[in-house]
């Protein structure tokens, strides 16, 4: 029997071989390795290749040709089928009617929730709360498993330094440390402590590797990354996922240093298998194997099949190179049989670990008809923690709960679909509580609420709604203005060259600002937007990403001060797209900019001498600082950092150093702060970044409360890859900062000694 979630009854298994396996597992406690080898020895080459094939589902149907392929053992995985009855029937055919009774593994993109939609992953990264990320993934896994999903293609952990790239929404931002911690947390949430449990699903670390460094932020594009940078910045989150036990890894679309990832033996065999000891299986991305012909790396599908299996791709998603040519390649001797056997071992291992062969129907495949209260409460908490307060001039926020009149304006004020964000395939707009709905529920009849969209949707340039919006603002004590991107403007294939608010939204903001009414701007988007100019026109800015199902209740709690904003930016906000790439952990230059040591364009005298302006690394028109730095986020209270101490100022290589700092809430409201630890290696054999995140903690303090926050910093975390690509920890002097963002000023120093 097997771990498909059927209808509270044991599925009959007619295949004698499967019965034998079950008997062995129960009676003799035979281990997975022996079971794999026993099954593998009975498989034909065609059945082995079948396990390496994944096809897309048929939208709630099982056509005759699919049934036949299942009976022949010609398919190892199905994706994108969420009808529980169909999934149950496909599994029944695979197990009862095929020769060997090998169950399918059924996959789906469960990126930031299934029915209950949590904030987009970039928003979850803004929580800096790994336990929250783990809990959200656990709910997503439970909901997906209820319809027969065994496997998801998450987490995405591509480091992204270019917000033009649409898929920045799906990842954890620009920092390898933060992304590593959150990737491991999401893996643990999806897979639980026991992968065979009925409420868990297999995770997939994607996209391996370097996908977030696509040139110009154009999706699927070329990537060039020196190996040292690859190992120190882009690979650590994948290593963290592997160490957390991730069941599968997905090869990326892009080529990296001239070799597409689906044909990249260095990545898939050398790094992933040999160096990291990964035991799960590797799946291609959708059609990424066949796309190696477009890259100019393969001549035809036969060449694709040969190079992919040699590189280490175990399962092909959707394209047909393995199905069409792999048997012939083995029979001709062009591909060793051992490569196919190893790939099938990897796939079977995950299926056994999932309990697909063993578990009797543990619960009903009734699907999920609405989110549970537990899921909604968690979705609200996640949305609350993800929102970043960027500006609060004159302490406009929180608004008084006794406000008499309020204007709720904007194309995203009452839009239940768009706030779910990219990759919310199974979320339902009907579950969403919009900001307008939540404001009405919260204020009830105590305030006059005037609502108008201003624009029908975010890209619209129809200004006919401006006059009603101005009238609503003029007749109100304050304006809540909800703007941003529709969900389709970020995500896969949705890169943008301009990062301003689309449509006539900026003109709407300027028009409303002219009324003189105080405006709290709420931006909902899948990426950092260049909001510097418009932020100067309003009094407060909340950056909410795409918050998900519980958008409204979370925002209302923040707007009216039930909770203080506590999110911190997981990615640097540029002033303009021309400043990209801009990220906090950059290298220094021989002529680094210093405040006041350079000239801006408006200050250049006419006929200026070429070298009279201060030759430093900056832009004449915007300087060198970003709009908002990595780690930044305001609160309704104020936090003070003081009394930084080290357990030693001379740490030996191999030892740890303990860092302590006093954190005091010097404001008037209970709130949470994310304390962040950064270091800089001042002199090394390879130049190091100006700052590197090495720790963070989320701390809640009451007004006036003080807590001593401690960080344990292992010397092993101070290393990097040298010119020989060896991870090395070198002696030398370090600066260390603790504070509320990557521009923290509370500093001390220590020395690492032999």
Enzyme catalytic residues = 285
Sequence-distant (6+) residues with CB within 8 A of 603 are none
Residue 453 buriedness (CB in 10 A; 0-12 / 13-18 / 19+): buried
Q: Which residues 6+ apart lie within 8 Å of 514 measured at CB?
A: none
| Spatial distance between the Cα atoms of 422 and 121, rounded to a whole number of angstroms | 10
Residue with tokens 């056509």: 63
DSSP 81-131: ---HHHHHHHHHIIIIISSS-PPPEEEE--SSBSSSBPPPHHHHHTTT-HH
Helix (H, G, I), strand (E, B) or coil at 67: helix
Between CA 465 and CA 451 the distance in angstroms is 11
By CB atoms closer than 10 A (0-12, 13-18, 19+), residue 544 is buried
Contacts of residue 29, defined as CB under 8 A and 6 or more positions apart, other chains included, come to none
Q: Which two tokens stand for residue 608?
A: 């200026």
Q: Rounded CA gap, 494 and 506, in Å?
A: 21
- CA 621: distance to chain centroid? 33
Q: Among residues 499, 462, 506, 452, which one has the least CA distance to residue 483?
A: 506
Which phi and psi (to 5°) does residue 554 adopt? -65, -45
Distance in angstroms (rounded) separating the CA atoms of residues 556 and 440: 10
Residue-wise DSSP of 514-577: TTT--EEEEEE-SS----HHHHTTSSEEEE-----TTHHHHHHHHHTTSS------SSPBPSSG
d(CA 546, CA 702): 29
Please tell me the distance from the alpha carbon of residue 495 to that of residue 499, in angstroms, as a whole number: 10
- The 3-state DSSP class for residue 204 equals strand
């Amino acid at each position: 029997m097997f771990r498909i979630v059927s209808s509270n009854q044991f599925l009959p298994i007619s295949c004698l071989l499967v019965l034998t396996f079950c008997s062995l597992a129960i009676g003799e406690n035979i281990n997975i390795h022996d079971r794999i080898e026993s099954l593998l020895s009975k498989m034909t080459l065609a059945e082995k290749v079948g396990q390496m094939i994944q096809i897309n589902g048929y939208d709630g149907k099982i056509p005759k040709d699919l049934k036949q392929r299942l009976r022949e053992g010609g398919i190892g995985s199905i994706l994108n089928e969420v009808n529980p009855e169909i999934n149950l029937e496909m599994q029944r055919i695979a197990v009862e009617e095929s020769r060997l009774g090998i169950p399918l593994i059924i996959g789906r993109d469960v990126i930031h929730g299934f029915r209950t939609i949590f904030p987009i992953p970039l928003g979850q990264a803004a929580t800096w709360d790994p336990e929250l990320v783990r809990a959200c993934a656990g709910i997503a896994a439970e909901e997906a498993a209820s319809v027969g999903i065994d496997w998801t293609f998450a987490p995405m952990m591509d480091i992204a330094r270019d917000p033009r790239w649409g898929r920045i929404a799906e990842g954890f931002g620009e920092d390898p440390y933060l992304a590593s911690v959150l990737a491991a947390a999401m893996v643990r949430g999806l897979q639980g402590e026991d992968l065979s449990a009925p409420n868990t699903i297999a995770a997939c670390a994607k996209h391996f590797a370097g996908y977030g460094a696509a040139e110009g932020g154009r999706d699927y594009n070329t990537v060039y990354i020196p190996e040292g940078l690859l190992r120190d910045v882009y690979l650590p989150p994948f290593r963290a996922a592997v160490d957390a036990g991730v069941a599968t890894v997905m090869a990326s679309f892009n080529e990296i240093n001239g070799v597409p990832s689906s044909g990249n033996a260095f990545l898939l065999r050398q790094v992933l298998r040999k160096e990291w000891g990964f035991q799960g299986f590797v799946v291609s991305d959708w059609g990424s194997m066949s796309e190696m012909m477009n890259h100019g790396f393969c001549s035809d599908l036969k060449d694709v099949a040969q190079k992919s299996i040699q590189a280490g791709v175990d399962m092909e998603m959707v394209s047909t190179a393995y199905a069409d040519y792999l048997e012939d390649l083995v029979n001709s001797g062009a591909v060793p049989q051992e490569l196919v056997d190893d790939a099938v071992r990897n796939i079977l291992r995950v299926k056994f670990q999932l309990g697909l062969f063993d578990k009797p129907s543990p619960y009903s495949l009734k699907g999920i008809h609405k989110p549970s209260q537990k899921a909604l409460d968690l979705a609200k908490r996640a949305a609350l923690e993800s929102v970043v307060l960027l500006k609060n001039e004159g302490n406009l926020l929180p608004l008084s709960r006794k406000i008499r009149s309020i204007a709720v304006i904007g194309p995203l004020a009452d839009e239940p679909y768009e706030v779910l964000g990219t990759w919310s395939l199974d979320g339902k707009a009907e579950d969403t509580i919009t900001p307008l709905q939540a404001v009405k529920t919260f204020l009830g009849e105590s305030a006059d609420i005037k609502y108008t969209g201003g624009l029908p949707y975010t890209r619209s340039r129809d200004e006919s709604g401006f006059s009603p919006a101005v009238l609503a603002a003029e007749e109100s004590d304050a304006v809540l203005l909800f703007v941003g991107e529709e969900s389709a403007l970020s995500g896969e294939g949705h890169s943008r060259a301009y990062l301003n608010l689309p449509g006539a939204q900026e003109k709407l903001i300027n028009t409303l600002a002219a009324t003189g009414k105080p405006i709290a701007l709420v931006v909902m988007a899948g990426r950092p937007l260049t909001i510097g100019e418009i932020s100067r026109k309003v009094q407060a800015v909340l950056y909410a990403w795409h918050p998900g199902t519980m958008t409204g209740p979370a925002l209302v709690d923040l707007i009216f001060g039930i909770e203080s904003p506590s999110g911190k930016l997981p990615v640097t906000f540029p002033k303009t797209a021309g400043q990209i790439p801009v990220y906090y952990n950059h290298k220094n230059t021989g002529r680094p900019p210093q405040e006041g040591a350079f000239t801006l364009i408006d200050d250049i005298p006419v006929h200026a001498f070429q070298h009279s302006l201060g030759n430093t690394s900056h832009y004449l028109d915007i300087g060198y600082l970003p709009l908002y730095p990595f780690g930044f986020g305001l609160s309704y209270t104020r936090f003070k950092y003081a009394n930084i101490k080290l357990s030693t100022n001379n740490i030996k290589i191999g030892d740890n150093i303990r860092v302590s700092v006093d954190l005091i809430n010097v404001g008037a409201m209970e709130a949470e702060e994310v304390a962040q630890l950064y270091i800089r290696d001042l002199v090394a054999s390879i130049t190091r970044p100006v700052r590197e995140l090495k720790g963070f903690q989320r701390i809640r303090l009451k007004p006036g409360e003080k807590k001593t926050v401690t960080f344990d910093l292992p010397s092993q975390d101070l290393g990097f890859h040298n010119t020989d690509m060896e991870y090395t920890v070198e002696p030398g002097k370090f600066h260390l900062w603790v504070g509320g963002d990557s521009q923290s000023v509370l500093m001390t120093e220590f020395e690492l000694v032999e």
